[in-house]
Amino acid sequence: HDYTKADIRRMAKEENVQFLRLMFTDLYGTIKNVEVPISQLDKLLDNKLMFDGSSIDGFVRIEESDMWLYPDLSTWMIFPWGSEHGKVARIICEVYTADRKPFMGDPRNNLMRVLDEMKAEGFTDFNIGPEPEFFLFKLDPETGKPTMHLNDNGSYFDFAPVDMGENCRREIVLELERMGFDVEASHHEVAPGQHEVDFKYEDALHACDNIQTFKLVVKTVARKHGLHATFMPKPLAQVNGSGMHINMSLFDKNGNVFYDENGDQKLSQKAYYFLGGLLKHARSFTAITNPTVNSYKRLVPGFEAPVYVAWSGRNRSPLIRVPMAREQGTRFELRSVDPSANPYMAIAAILEAGLDGLRNKIEPAASVDRNIYAMDEEERRENGIKDLPSTLHNALKELKNDEVIQGALGKHLFNNFVEAKTLEWDSYRQDVSQWERDQYLELY
Ligand code: ADP
Ligand code: MG
Ligand code: MG
Ligand code: MG
Ligand code: MG
């Protein structure tokens, strides 16, 4: 939406908005809110609102803690759920340093920087259609805390009464539509208690904003139904984890750059270079698209998640799939990404990988249309098929060896990310799990 300041003042008045939630995203992908009363609206619209950035993970040191919040007027949205105190509106903000420069520790600012590079190279839009999956667990009615009890025993495309999460999911879709989302589909996923909602693709920046808003809406509506919605990648070992497939296409002023009527499989040479870049950097952007210890428990064979670096136009199981759609719908689907990723950082890394392919004319390996899981190690080696990193630790090692992907994050985000994730790994590897006691306590 192209809202002006006057539009926003008018809508706030008409809808009795009493509070403003100023949103931005931290290094971990967590939405941060600064809530101010409506009396601060003019100050906000004039870029005169400050906040203390030192309390935000991975942001700044204490001595440089004062930051400005510049509202992105196009993101103004009134939450449909009212309260006795009037309505709450949210607006996504860009974080600026005290001397009024875009703060490069803000993942959204960083994505805007990478998108500007893309535009300087002659493209207009990087379009992103995400497919986020999540689980619904019951809340404990006494404590209000999440339990590990699932809400249903349904599975893929099941209908009520098996699918008891259906009402909750339906309300999620209605709320999203009220907020202006174009929901294309929603369905029960393969695992019990697991769901997917697909909304229409948008330009990268707004698609990331949508992912963040989506998570907030899902969690809020679930809570009203006595449920906890989690985007943790693999909450249960025995069933499929939650992914967030990323569908992507690159546009210039003539439309979809990936399409060529006369190309091999109707894909353009540029599409192949972009794909070459994605494949080349896939192992090193995995730390960003799959940033938790738990992410790697999803990337294992047997649960529909990718394990090997390969692409296919036919098979649904490889890392990158080329869906059948052509012309303006020509796109790649990256299937490794999970919803614990910071979307702004993940999309920046993915785009940079593709652009590197274009700049350096990187040809992708041949497509693999056979079932990779049926091949043995020898066959995979012969076909040049590498595997994705198996742990966060290995993924971080790959990231630290790839200057292109580091460049996609910029110095501030890269350093803070590696530092935070190394601590996370160190903490995990010092833990002794029940699995180990079950295996070794009596054996040795
Ligand atoms: P799947 O077959 O993998 O389940 P879905 O139908 O669930 O795919 O989701 C497809 C996603 O791709 C949607 O978000 C849709 O808006 C998006 N999409 C469609 N065309 C494009 C395009 N040209 N560029 C990027 N995303 C697109
Ligand atoms: Mg889908
Ligand atoms: Mg699907
Ligand atoms: Mg799915
Ligand atoms: Mg998909």
Per-residue model confidence as pLDDT tens digits over 21-62: 999 999 999 999 889 999 999 999 999 999 888 777 667 666
Give the contacts of 59 (CB within 8 A, at least 6 positions apart). 26, 27, 53, 67, 95, 103, 105
User: Would you state the pLDDT for residue 35?
Assistant: 92
DSSP 3-state of 408: helix
Residue 361, CA distances (Å) to 20, 38, 218, 263, 272 in order? 47, 52, 41, 16, 9
Q: Which atom of ligand 1 is nearest to the CA of 316?
A: 3
- Kindly list the catalytic residues: 52, 131, 133, 189, 196, 245, 316, 333, 335
Residue 192 CA: distances (Å) to CA of 147, 163, 340, 390: 15, 9, 20, 25
Q: Is 314 in the pocket of ligand 1 (CB under 6 A)?
A: no
pLDDT at res. 61: 66
Q: Is 321 in the pocket of ligand 1 (CB under 6 A)?
A: no
Digit-coded pLDDT (tens) for 136-161 = 999 999 999 999 988 776 665 555 45
In this prediction, residues 414-423 reach a mean pLDDT of: 97
Residue nearest atom 26 of ligand 1, based on CA coordinates: 129
Ligand 1 binding pocket mutation candidate from 247, 317, 326 (most atoms within 8 A of CB): 247
**Nearest protein CA to atom 8 of ligand 1, as residue:** 131
Per-residue model confidence (pLDDT) at position 158: 55
Please report the atom of ligand 1 found closest to the CA of residue 129: 14
How far away, in angstroms, is 196 Cα from ligand 4 center? Answer: 6
Q: Does residue 352 carry a pLDDT above 90?
A: yes
Backbone CA torsion sign across 43, 48, 52, 53:
positive
SS3 of residue 228 by DSSP: strand
For the segment 227-233, the average pLDDT, to the nearest whole number, is 97
Q: What is the DSSP string of 135-199?
A: EEEEEPTTT--EEEEES----TT--TTT-TTHHHHHHHHHHHHHTT--EEEEEE-SSTTEEEEEE
**Residue 107 CA neighbour count, 13 Å, CB half:** 32
Mean pLDDT of 349-356: 98
- Which residue's CA is minimally distant from atom 23 of ligand 1? 329
Whether the pLDDT of residue 432 is over 90: the answer is yes
Tokens of 398: 């790959």
d(Cα 38, Cα 44) in Å, to the nearest integer?
Answer: 10
Phi, psi values for residue 233, rounded to 5°: -65, -40
Each residue's pLDDT tens digit, 68-85: 999 999 999 998 877 778
Residue 132: both structure tokens together: 């986020």
Centre of ligand 4 to C-alpha 133, Å, is 6
Closest CA to 353 of 430, 426, 282: 282
**Residue listed under structure tokens 């909450």:** 235
Q: How far is the C-alpha of 94 from the C-alpha of 79, rounded, in Å?
A: 20
pLDDT at res. 221: 94
* CA–CA dist 379, 231 (Å, integer): 35
> Does 102 sit in the ligand 1 pocket, CB within 6 Å?
no
As a whole number, mean pLDDT of residues 274-296 equals 98
Ligand 1 atom closest to 249 (CA):
24
Please tell me the number of the ligand nearest to residue 245's CA: 5
Q: Looking at residue 157, what is its pLDDT?
A: 55
For the segment 108-119, the average pLDDT, to the nearest whole number, is 98
Atom of ligand 1 nearest to the CA of 245: 3
Residue 28 three-state SS: coil
CB of 184 shorter than 6 A to ligand 1 = yes
CA of residue 201 to ligand 1 center, whole Å = 7
- pLDDT averaged over every residue in the chain: 93
State pTM to two decimals. 0.95
- How far away, in angstroms, is 301 Cα from ligand 2 center? 20
C-alpha–C-alpha distance, residues 197 and 304, integer Å: 18
226: burial class by Cβ within 10 Å (0-12, 13-18, 19+)?
A: middle
Residue 429 pLDDT: 97
Burial status of residue 351 (CB atoms within 10 A of its CB: 0-12, 13-18, 19 or more): buried
How many Å apart are CA 181 and CA 173, to the nearest integer? 9
* C-alpha of residue 286 to centroid of ligand 2, in Å: 21
Question: What is the pLDDT, as a whole number, of residue 62?
Answer: 60
How far does CA 428 lie from the centroid of its chain?
Answer: 23
For the chain, percent of residues with pLDDT exceeding 90: 83
User: Which tokens in the block code for residue 28?
Assistant: 């971990």
Q: Give every CB contact of residue 29 below 8 A, 6+ residues apart in sequence.
A: 107, 291, 340, 341, 342, 343, 345
Ligand 1 neighbour 308 (Cβ under 6 A): no
Mean pLDDT of the 226-255 span? 97
Report whether pLDDT(211) > 90: yes
Q: What is the mean pLDDT of residues 209-237?
A: 95
The alpha carbon of 189 and the centre of ligand 4 are apart by a number of angstroms equal to 6
Q: How many CB atoms lie within 10 A of CB 357?
A: 25
> Any idea which ligand is nearest the CA of 243?
4
**pLDDT at residue 164, as a whole number:** 63
Q: Which residue from 286, 279, 252 is spatially nearest to 360, judged by alpha carbons? A: 279
278-296 mean pLDDT: 98
Helix count and strand count (H, E) for the chain: 12, 17
Strand pairing class (17-25; 87-97): parallel
Predicted confidence band at 124 (pLDDT cuts at 50, 70, 90)? very high
| pLDDT for residue 394 is more than 90 | yes
Token pair, residue 390, equals 């198996």
Token representation of residue 410 = 């910029």
User: Is residue 398 lining ligand 1, measured as CB closer than 6 Å?
Assistant: no
- Alpha-carbon distance 414 to 402, whole Å? 11
Q: Which residue has the tokens 């007027």?
A: 73
From the CA of 336, which ligand is nearest? 5
